[in-house]
A and B are shown apart, each in its own frame.
Chain A
Amino acid sequence: MKNKGLDSGLPRPDAVAKACGKSVYLPDLKFPGMLHAVVVSSPVASGVIKKIDISEALKVSGVKAILTAENAGINNKIGMIYDDQSLLAEDKVRMVGDRLALIAATSLEAAMEARDRMVIEIDEMPGVYDIRTALNDGSPKVHESGNLFKEFFVKRGDFEDAVVKADVVIEDDYTIGGQEHAYLETQGTVAFPVHDGSYRIYSSTQCPFYVRFRVARMLGIPHNMIRVIQTVTGGAFGGKEDYPDEPAMCAAALCKATGKPVRLVLPRVYDMQCSTKRHSMAIKHKLYATKGGKILGVKAEILVDAGAYAGLSTIVAERANTSAVGPYSIGAVDVHTKVIYTNNLFGGPYRGFGAPQVGAVHESQIDRLAMTVGIDPIKIREMNGLSRENPVFSSGEVLPQAHIYQDMLKLMKEKSNWDDHYNAKGKVDGYWREGIGLGTTIYGVNLHWGGSRLDRGASLVSILNDGSVSLAVGVTEMGQGNLAAMRTICANAFGISEELIRIEEVDTALVPDSGPTVASRSVMSGGNAVIDGVKQLNERLCSVAAKILKVESDTVICRNGQFISPKTEETTPWKKVVEMLYLKKINPSAIGWYRSEDRIYDPETGQGRAYAFYSFGGHVVRLRVDTQTGAIDVLETTAVHDVGQIINLVGIEGQVQGGTVQGLGWAIMEDFRMHKGKMLNAGFTDYSIPSSMDVPAVMNMAFIEEPEPQGPFGAKGIGEPSFISVGAAVLNAVSNALGRDISVLPLTPEKVIEIITEKH
């Protein structure tokens, strides 16, 4: 079956501007009198501040303000959810990059010169750099309250019984690395003072409503004094969920101090060191199974390296916790997730939100079980995976979508020619060994129960006098194709051409707070909000059209820009109906709203409705490993995704291609080289991400389109699932090629050589 989207085939709304280099990104903005800001930050990850002397720096010509915790005059406690973080460090520093001072000057050069003239003394203190020993007695404490910040659990079934009945136990302690988002446009913001004392904030962000909330709170002014406009955003991947608030707050504080527009664009090396990252995790995982390969119980302990501040780590950990078992239906589950403070990199949201890390582990574990009991890896997933017969997820939910997992496995097997390649595993060609592996995932679309109060979305749909439509939404475009999806949904809901619709830039003054654009929820929450707005307008339009057609209003519908009475088959065009709408002074705008259903969930046991609904995704990776150099050459990838109704086919394909390559980067190339909390390889020179030379020769894709009742027109989300199981598939493929158990990601050449030379 050939997949087809609901879209009309028009290029995405931003395609022409982007291809012509005309899109205006944050660094392209310029305002008269605009000042340039730099951050003065801590070079050490743990220490006590002895002295911050700004007097020499103030003498640099062009410097307009230097703010420290002492003189900033702001609400300095700025944590995202928990107030454990300061905008400007007060007495201690807890991570490399903690802000000591902010400088604004008439030129970037002057600001940088002032930074060089600051006199800073910090007494370095012992820090916490190893997540496995962070909770030991005697470990230094990142915060007074101790290093264990928060815990999450899944407790289900009779675990002791599973232990007693098991013939086989598969167990290991995995080390899964983090990842830098490496969006091509670094973080940046401009804070602009408005004449009435309010502020306009331009931000490269996924979540303008977060920016509004945090800037207002920091300045101590009402939310209506802050208007946030999202500029065209040069990639985000989760890295521009909460972190953009920090540069925005810096610029806003300086804007308040100087009364001038202030621009802060983070240099790449600083951005890589200081902004949030995919969490590194240490995961102990135990599978209890019968010798026939049936999994009876899963026990997992997940240590999440949050870095020095909570940020959104608890939210990421919550997803990791719920995802730890994978797409399997297992009677007994005992998962314990710990969010731990360290002085390492700042953990935060990144495409997949903890699911890729635990995914690499549950998928490695089930492969090892397959090997141990002598069953094919796909077969063992068929046996243990969610299905119509076994539809209960680890949250205790009976999933109406459970059977899709089985459909997906079939498609993965077929599209990857699994049987042929799996039987040729370990194929030798000189130093090269070939291998194939798969990874599968279950993904809760939308926010976890813990964040479900934010599960809302808004639209403002306005029909203008000439029949064109202005659409504003609260979910953002960051490259993923949200504009195109919203336009398609709007056009289909109205029954008009996409060409009539223009989408406004996201502006917090235009639409109600729509929550964050994360968790692959933009189509779901934005799309449903658009449909709701259109529905309200359709009622008004249809009643007008009915009068023109002289029929009952509830019989009229709009298709292809014509209002039709199915009874009389008479039509009247969209434009005429809009004209009449205006003549009759009927409100031509509507605010659409979406809210997810309330759900019940018990955080002590992880039982209940964790997510609104679920989707499945899987990758097969075929690769070869150079046993001499440790290099990995990816030959072929196959991605299968359960996406519901496709809104925009090229958009979905783009997500899958991009997600796959980004996943390969995480699994093979991208490694943090750390020393006492400092990233030694910050910058693209030493932190390599995939280039065009790293693209696999063959990338297959297939989609399962079973409409999801809660999604707009039956659509699900794809942004994150496109990434999640790539790492797992790579890990399993390398293990398959080398015939070794592997318990670490990323598999850089050095790691591969280590694995090869390790004694059994």
Chain B
Amino acid sequence: MKKITYKLNGEIRHLHVEPNDVLLDVLRDKLGIKSPKCGCDRGDCGACAVLLNGQSVRSCLILAIECDGMEIETVEGIGSNGLTRLQEKFIELNSFQCGYCAPGVTISATELLRKNPNPTMDEVKEAIAGNLCRCTGYTPIIDAVLKTAKEGDEHGKL
């Protein structure tokens, strides 16, 4: 067991982990963060995506210990001040059906919009290419991201 520290959704959290503990399991089982989902457990589906120092990563592929001292953001944090505009668009456009892919998609799309507030359709497709969704055919997800960008926000809020 090793003691490590995360800044998780803006909060400093200390915890003990084994060297082979996986970030996804630690978030879900030890830290009570349930939004990242396990869809494959080997880096193929993107359901487990979280932002690590602002970069989206697949938390099923990362050891918890490697993230010591880093900042982790999940959908719990992204939506902590009420719905983001992106989430509002997801809701408005019926972007999710079963919703199991939603947290991962939200992470990838949020990362994209933070880095590139005016993405093209192709850039949106690329940004979520690692997030499998079996239900929607992606169109309503892509549309929501594009619409969020297009409608913009004077305060730069997502």
A residues whose Cβ falls under 8 Å from a Cβ of B: 11-12, 14-25, 27-28, 181-186, 232-237, 267-268, 478-481, 650-651, 653-654, 657-662, 683-685, 689-693, 695, 699
Pairwise interchain contact B98-A478, C-beta atoms closer than 8 A: yes
- Asked if B154 is an interface residue, CB under 8 A from chain A, the answer is no
- How distant is B37 from chain A, measured CB to nearest CB, in Å? 7
- B135 contacts A by Cβ under 8 Å: yes
New A-B contacts (5) at CB < 8 Å, excluding given A654-B135, A657-B136, A684-B42: A19-B90, A20-B83, A25-B100, A28-B34, A695-B137
Taking a contact as CB atoms under 8 Å apart, the answer to whether B87 and A20 are in contact is yes
Residues in B80-94 with C-beta less than 8 Å from chain A: 83, 87, 90-94
- Do residues A18 and B93 form an inter-chain contact, with CB atoms below 8 A? no
In whole angstroms, how far apart are the Cα atoms of A400 and B147 in the complex? 43
Task: Say if the beta carbon of B69 comes within 8 Å of chain A.
Answer: no
Chain B residues within 8 Å of A695, by CB: 125, 137-139, 142
Chain B hits for A685, CB < 8 A: 42, 44
Select one of B40, B76, B128, B133 contacting A268, CB under 8 A: B40
Contact (A479, B91) CB under 8 Å given A19-B83, A21-B106, A182-B134: no
Q: How far does the Cβ of B43 sit from chain A's closest Cβ, in whole Å?
A: 8
Residues of A within 8 A of B37 (CB): 25, 27, 184-185, 234
| Contacting pair A684 B44 (CB below 8 A) | yes
Q: Is the CB of A233 within 8 A of B98?
A: yes
19 contacts between A and B (CB under 8 A): A11-B92, A11-B94, A19-B91, A19-B106, A21-B34, A21-B102, A184-B47, A186-B39, A232-B98, A268-B42, A654-B136, A657-B140, A662-B137, A684-B132, A691-B130, A692-B128, A693-B125, A693-B126, A699-B137
CB atoms of B137 and A21 under 8 A apart: no
**In whole Å, how far is A340's beta carbon from the nearest beta carbon of chain B?**
29
Residue pair B42, A12 in contact (C-beta under 8 Å): no
Let me know if A692 and B138 touch, CB within 8 A: yes
Q: Given A11-B92, A657-B139, A689-B134, are A683 and B42 neighbors across the interface (CB < 8 Å)?
A: yes
Complex CA distance for A560 and B142, rounded to whole angstroms: 35
Which residues of chain B are within 8 angstroms of A18 by Cβ–Cβ distance?
Answer: 96, 99, 102
**Beta-carbon contact of A651 and B35 below 8 Å:** no
Shortest C-beta distance, B104 to chain A (Å), equals 9
Q: For the complex, what is the distance from the CA of A481 to the CA of B140, rounded to whole Å?
A: 14
Give, as a whole number of angstroms, the nearest-CB distance from B73 to chain A.
12
Q: Within 8 Å CB of A185, what residues of B?
A: 37, 39, 98, 100
Q: B31: CB under 8 A from chain A?
A: no
CA distance A693 to B125 in the complex (A): 6
Max count, chain A CB within 10 A of own CB: residue among B44, B106, B141: B44
B119 to chain A, nearest CB (A): 12
Kindly list chain A residues whose C-beta atoms are within 8 Å of the C-beta of B140: 650, 654, 657
When the two chains form their complex, are residues B97 and A684 in contact, meaning their CB atoms are under 8 A apart?
no
Which residue of A650, A658, A661 has the most chain B CB atoms within 10 A of its CB atom? A658
Q: Are A661 and B100 in contact (CB under 8 A)?
A: no
Min Cβ gap B87→A in Å is 5
Cβ–Cβ contact A661 & B39, under 8 A: no
Given known pairs A19-B106, A695-B139, the reply for A654 and B125 (CB within 8 Å) is no
Q: Give the residues in chain A near B148, CB-CB below 8 Å.
A: none
Decide: A234 and B99 in contact? CB cutoff 8 A. Answer: yes
Q: Which of B83, B126, B139 has the most CB of A within 10 A?
A: B139
On whether the beta carbons of A21 and B35 are closer than 8 Å, the reply is yes
Q: Are B129 and A683 in contact (CB under 8 A)?
A: no
CB closest residue in chain B, given A183: B134
Is the beta-carbon distance between A184 and B137 smaller than 8 angstroms?
Answer: no
Given A234-B99, A661-B138, are A693 and B129 neighbors across the interface (CB < 8 Å)?
yes
A17 CB contacts on chain B under 8 angstroms = 99
Annotate B99-128 by CB proximity to A: 1 below 8 A, 0 otherwise.
111110010000000000000000011101
Q: Are A15 and B96 in contact (CB under 8 A)?
A: yes
The 6 nearest A-B residue pairs measured at CB: A479-B98, A21-B35, A18-B99, A234-B100, A661-B137, A684-B44
Q: Smallest CB-CB separation from A637: which chain B residue?
A: B137
Majority-rule SS of B interface residues: loop
The chain A residue with its CB closest to the CB of B99 is A18
Bound-state Cα–Cα, A12 to B95, Å: 10
- In the assembled complex, the Cα of A11 lies from the Cα of B106 at a distance in Å of 18
Whether B74 is near chain A, meaning CB under 8 Å from some CB there, is yes
The reply on B75 being an interface residue by CB < 8 A is yes
B131 proximity list for chain A (CB < 8 A): 691-692
Q: Considering residues B44, B90, B98, which has the most beta carbons from chain A within 10 angstroms of its beta carbon?
A: B98
Query: Least Cβ distance of B80 to chain A in Å?
Result: 10
Give B96 Cβ to nearest chain A Cβ, in Å: 5
Q: Does B45 contact A (CB under 8 A)?
A: yes
Closest Cβ of chain B: how far from A3's Cβ, in Å? 15
The residue in B35, B92, B134, B142 that gathers the most chain A C-beta atoms within 10 A of its C-beta is B134
- Is the CB–CB distance between B91 and A11 below 8 Å? yes
Are A479 and B99 in contact, CB atoms less than 8 angstroms apart?
yes
Report yes or no: A21 in contact with B128, Cβ–Cβ below 8 A: no
- Smallest beta-carbon distance B50→chain A, Å: 11
Partner of B95, one of A19, A181, A183, A481: A19
Chain A residues positioned under 8 Å from B106 (CB to CB)? 19, 21
In the complex, are the beta carbons of B94 and A21 less than 8 A apart? Answer: no
In the assembled complex, the CB of B12 is this many whole angstroms from the nearest CB of chain A, namely 22
Partner of A19, one of B38, B96, B124, B139: B96
Establish whether residues B97 and A480, one from each chain, have CB atoms under 8 Å apart when the complex forms.
yes
Across the interface, B87 reaches (CB within 8 A) one of A19, A23, A658, A690, namely A19
Residues of A contacting B134 in the complex (Cβ-Cβ under 8 angstroms): 181-184, 235, 237, 658, 662, 689
A20 to B106, CA, bound (A): 9
How distant is the Cα of A182 from the Cα of B103 in the complex, in angstroms?
18
Separation of A235 and B95 alpha carbons in the complex (Å): 14
Interface residue ranges of B39-77 to A (CB < 8 Å): 39-42, 44-45, 47, 74-76
Indicate whether A21 sits within 8 Å of B74 (C-beta atoms), given known contacts A16-B91, A683-B40, A692-B125: yes
- The docked-state distance in angstroms from the alpha carbon of A16 to that of B125 is 23
B47 nearest CB neighbor, chain A only: A184
- B-chain residues with CB within 8 Å of residue A182 when the two chains form the complex: 132, 134
Contacts of B132 in A (CB 8 A): 182, 184, 684, 689, 691
> A630 to chain B: closest CB distance in Å?
21
Q: How far is the CB of A257 from chain B (nearest CB, A)?
A: 24
Report B-chain residues with C-beta under 8 Å of the C-beta of A657: 136-137, 139-140
Would B133 and A184 count as touching, CB distance under 8 A?
Answer: yes
Residues of A with C-beta under 8 A to B138: 661, 690-692, 695
Collect the chain A residues with CB atoms within 8 Å of residue B97's CB. 235, 479-481, 654, 658
Closest-CB distance, A585 to chain B (whole angstroms): 41
Closest to B124 in A: A692
Per the bound structure, the CA–CA distance linking A409 and B142 in Å amounts to 30
- Select one of B28, B94, B98 contacting A235, CB under 8 A: B98
Bound state CA distance, A24 and B38, in angstroms? 13
Residues of A within 8 A of B74 (CB): 21
Question: How far does the Cβ of B110 sit from chain A's closest Cβ, in whole Å?
Answer: 12
- What are the residues of chain B within 8 A of A267 when measuring CB–CB? 41
B79 on the A face (CB < 8 A): yes
B37, B95, B97, B138 pick with most chain A CB within 10 angstroms: B97
B34 touches A15 (CB 8 A): no
> Are the C-beta atoms of A692 and B129 separated by less than 8 Å?
yes
Q: State in angstroms the CA–CA spacing of A232 and B135 once bound together.
A: 14
- CA–CA, A480 and B135, complex, Å: 8
Per the bound structure, the CA–CA distance linking A152 and B120 in Å amounts to 52
Chain B residues with CB under 8 A of A22:
35
A-chain residues with CB within 8 Å of residue B47 when the two chains form the complex: 184
In the bound assembly, the distance between CA atoms of A513 and B130 in angstroms comes to 40
Q: List, in ascending order, chain B residues with CB within 8 A of A653's CB.
A: 94
Interface centre among A17, A659, A692 (most CB of B within 10 A): A692
A12 contacts B102, CB within 8 Å? no
Cα(A684)–Cα(B41), bound, Å = 10
Contact B45 A658 (CB under 8 A): no
Q: Report Cα–Cα, A22/B78, bound state, in Å.
A: 12
Note all chain A residues with C-beta closer than 8 A to B129: 691-693
Q: How far is the CB of B88 from chain A (nearest CB, A)?
A: 8
